[in-house]
Chains A and B, each alone.
Chain A
Amino acid sequence: MSAETSREPRSSGPLTAVMRWMENLSDTQFAYLLLTPVFVLLGAVALYPLLRTFELSLYLTQLGQTEWTFIGFRHYIELFTGQKDPILPGSTTFLPRSLALSDILSSALLVTIIFSVVGVLFETVIGLGQALVLDQDFHGRRWARAAIIIPWAVPIVIQGMMFFLMFNSSIGFLTPPLAELGILAPTNTLNDTASSLFIVIVADIWKTSAFMALLILAGLQSINRDLYDVAKVAGASKWQQFKYITFPLILPTIGVAVLFRTIQAMRVYGLIDAVAGCETVPSLSCMVVTTFLHRQGTSAAIAFTTAAIIGAIVMGLIAWQGEDAI
C-alpha cells in the first residue's frame, strides 16, 4: 500500500490537485464536504417535499389549472370541522362524528390511533415473551431466533397476502370459527371495518413483534448476570428476580422501542391496501394516497397533519432521551 500511495503526491493532474486541496482543509471543512451528498439527497427527497407539502396545503389547487389560490389554513379548518369528509373515500370521516362505535371506526384519525396503540401494546407483551425465551441457553437457539426474525423480513405485500388468504371469507379457514365467537363478520369479512381492523392489527403484531423482541433482547443481555447470583443467594424466586431485577432494568429499552414502533405504526398503508383496502380500513396515510391525484391541497393538509402528530411524538422522544437519542 505504501509504495502505491507514496507516489500519489508526485503525480500531477486535476484529480491530484483536488486531493491536495482536500488534504489542506480543516476538519470542519472536510466534514461538511463529505456530508454534501447526504445534504443534497435528503434536501431533495425529504426536506424539499416536506416544505412543499406544507406550502401546497395552504392553496386551493384545481385539476388542470396552474393558477392556485392562497386560502391559508382553510384546508386544515375544513378537515377538523368535517367539511372535507364528503371527498374522503367511502363513508370515511377525519374526526369521528360521534363516539358511537361505527363513527369511531370510520374516522381516519381514530382508526390510525387504535391500530397503533393496540398493535404496539400486544407487540410489546409478545416481544417481551419472545425475548425472555431467546435469552435462555438451549439447544437450537439459533434456529429459534431465525424463525422468530423471519416475519420481520417478510415483504409487506406478502404479509398482507398471507392474512388476506387466511381471513378471506371464501377460503379463509379461520373466519368461520372466529365468526362463531362473534369476533369477525361471517360474510364479506374483509369489507367489514371492525373485522378488517382486527385482522390488520393481528397481521401487524405477527410481523413486528420480532423487532420488539430483538430490541428487548439487547437490553436483557446487557444486564449484569451477577445480580441474579446475588438474588439466588438471597432466596428470590424466578418471578421476584424478574420483578425486581429484569423488568426495572429493561424498562428504558422498552420505552424507546415502544415510541419507535408507535411512530412506524402511525404510517400504516401497505398492509391495509393489500388486506382490505383503504375504503374499509381508513388510515391517515391511506387518505393521503386516495386524494393526492385530484385534490393536492387536501391531501397535503392530511399528510402534514400526520407528519405533525408524528413530529410531536418524536420531539417528546428527543426531549426525553436528549443526546442519548443519537
Chain B
Amino acid sequence: MTMTTDKDNPDSGLLRRWVQYAIENPRRVYRVLFYVAIVFFMVTTLFPFYWLFVLALTPEGQLLGGGYLPDIELFGLSTTFPLPVPQGFNPEAFIAVFEQLPFHLYMLNSFVLAISTTVIVLVIASLAGYVFGRLEFAGRVPLMLAILAISYFPPAAFVVPLFEAFTGNTPIVIPFTEIPLFTPPRLLNTPGAMVMPFSAIFMPLSIFILTTFYAQIPDGLEDAARVEGTTRFGALFRVIMPLSAPGVATAAVLTFISVYNEYFFSSIMATSPDAANWSPIVGGILSFQTQYTTQYNLMAAASIVAVLPVVILVLIAQERIVSGLTAGALKE
C-alpha cells in the first residue's frame, strides 16, 4: 500500500482515501482491530493443541526429518507456509499409547483420585459453607481469614512432613514437643496419600463458592422447613443444597479439574511413575518422556488423549467455571 502512494498515478490517493475514510468512520477501525485481536487470541490459545496433532499424526521415522513448515508456491512466489503440517498420516500412535504403557490405567487413577477428592470436598465444604453463609457466631471472620491464609501457602511448605508421615516409619509428634500421638500407616503409593493433600489444598475455594451460594437462599425457606419439623441437617441437605445446585455443581467442576491438573503431590506421593502405584496421568506422560525419549509422536498422542476429558468438561460446564472462578476466586 505504501508503494502505491509513492508513485504518482491515479492510485496515489488510496492510502490517503483510506485514512480519510477511517477518520470519518472510527467504528469501522475499531471493528477491524477487534477482529484482528480475536483472531490473534484464538490462534495463540489453540495453536499448541494443533502442534500436538501435527506431531501425533507424523510417523515415527519422519519425526526428526524437519520440514514441518513446507515451502509453497503462492502466486508465483515461493514462501514458507505459516502453519506446520504433519509429515504423513499415522493415527496408530493413538493406539500405541495404550499398548506401550497401560495409559488407560493412569487415566483411571486420575479419575478415581479426582472423583473421590470432589466427593470429600463437597461434603465437608457444604457443612462449612452452611456455617459461614447462614449462621452468625463468634469467630466467623477470623476463621474465614485463617482458611483463606492456609489456601495461599505453597504445597512445598507441606510436603516434607507429609512425606515423612505417609512413609509411616516414625510416629507423629506434636510439633515442638516430644509427645507422640500415633504412628500412621504407610500411605505412600496409595490414593490416601494424594486425596488427603488434594482435599486440603482445594477445599478453601469450594468453601468460599458454597458460602456465597448458601447465603443467597432466603431465610424463610429454611424456617419453613424447620417449622415443618426437619432437623438442621435435614434443612441443609433437603432444602438448601438442592436449591443451590448450581453452586454445588460449580464447586464440583472446579475441584475435579484442579485435582486432574495437579502436578506437585501427584508426582511426589507416587514414588515411581507406575500405574500400580496409583500414579495419575502425570506419571503416565512423564514415563513417555523418560522411557521413550525419541517417540515424540507418542508423547503428543498421550497428551491429546489425557487432555480430552477437561476440554469436554470446559465446553459443557463453561458457565459454571466462569461463575465459580469469578465469584469464588475474586474472594480468594
Contact = CB atoms under 8 A, between A and B. Distances in A.
A47 B150 contact: yes
Contacts of B306: 155, 158
A199 interface: no
Interface string A265-292: 0110111011000000000110011001
A162 B52 contact: yes
Contact of A150 (B26, B45, B69, B327): B45
Interface residues of B, number: 111
Interface string A129-163: 11011001010001011111111011111100111
Interface in B94-140: 123-125, 127-128, 130-131, 135-138, 140
Contact of B160 (A22, A156, A292): A292
B275 interface: no
A34 interface: yes
Interface in B287-324: 289, 294, 296, 299-300, 303, 306-307, 310-311, 313-315, 318, 321-322
Nearest to B41: A130
Contacts of A266: 154
A19 interface: yes
A48 B160 CA distance: 11
A323 interface: yes
B326 A218 contact: yes
B263 A269 contact: yes
B282 A165 contact: no
A98 interface: no
B330 A66 contact: no
A67 B148 CA distance: 36
Contacts of B140: 31
Interface residues of A, number: 106
Interface stretch (A77-85, A167-175, A181-189): A167-175
Contacts of A210: 45
Contacts of B228: 1-2, 5-6
B128 A34 contact: yes
Nearest to A299: B160
Contact of B318 (A38, A145, A267, A311): A145
A34 B59 CA distance: 57
B325 A211 contact: yes
B231 A158 contact: no
A51 interface: yes
A221 to B, nearest CB: 9
A288 to B, nearest CB: 4
B233 interface: yes
Given A38-B207, A55-B176, A162-B52, A49 B161 contact: yes
A296 B161 CA distance: 9
A41 interface: yes
Contact of B153 (A19, A50, A133, A168): A50
B88 interface: no
Contact of B232 (A22, A50, A260, A307): A22
B264 interface: yes
Q: Is the interface of A mostly helix, strand, loop or mixed?
A: helix
A46 B150 CA distance: 7
Interface string B207-245: 110000000000000000100111111100010000000
Contacts of B249: none
Contacts of A44: 196, 200
Contact of A156 (B141, B149, B263): B263
B26 A289 contact: no
Nearest to B282: A157
Given A153-B311, A157-B282, A270-B267, A45 B135 contact: no
Interface string B235-264: 000100000000000000000010011111
B264 A270 contact: yes
Shortest beta-carbon contacts, A-B, top 8: A270-B263, A218-B326, A52-B161, A45-B200, A307-B157, A51-B175, A49-B158, A28-B137
Interface of B: 26, 30, 34, 37-38, 41-42, 44-46, 48-49, 51-52, 55, 63-64, 66, 68-69, 84, 123-125, 127-128, 130-131, 135-138, 140-141, 143-145, 147-150, 152-165, 170, 172, 175-176, 196-197, 199-201, 203, 207-208, 225, 228-234, 238, 257, 260-264, 267-268, 281-282, 285-286, 289, 294, 296, 299-300, 303, 306-307, 310-311, 313-315, 318, 321-322, 325-327, 329-332
29 contacts: A30-B131, A31-B131, A35-B143, A37-B123, A38-B147, A38-B207, A41-B124, A45-B197, A49-B159, A52-B160, A54-B175, A129-B37, A147-B41, A149-B314, A153-B314, A155-B261, A155-B281, A157-B286, A162-B52, A165-B52, A171-B64, A173-B66, A253-B330, A270-B263, A284-B154, A285-B154, A292-B160, A303-B156, A310-B152
Interface of A: 1-2, 5-6, 8-9, 19, 22-23, 27-28, 30-32, 34-35, 37-38, 41-42, 44-56, 66, 129-130, 132-133, 136, 138, 142, 144-151, 153-158, 161-166, 168, 170-171, 173, 206, 210-211, 214-215, 217-218, 237-238, 253, 256-257, 260, 263, 266-267, 269-271, 273-274, 284-285, 288-289, 292, 296, 299-300, 302-304, 306-307, 310-311, 314, 318, 323, 325-326
Given A154-B261, A162-B49, A162-B52, 15 more contacts: A5-B234, A22-B231, A27-B136, A31-B135, A31-B137, A41-B124, A45-B162, A56-B161, A147-B42, A155-B307, A161-B289, A162-B303, A171-B66, A215-B330, A303-B159
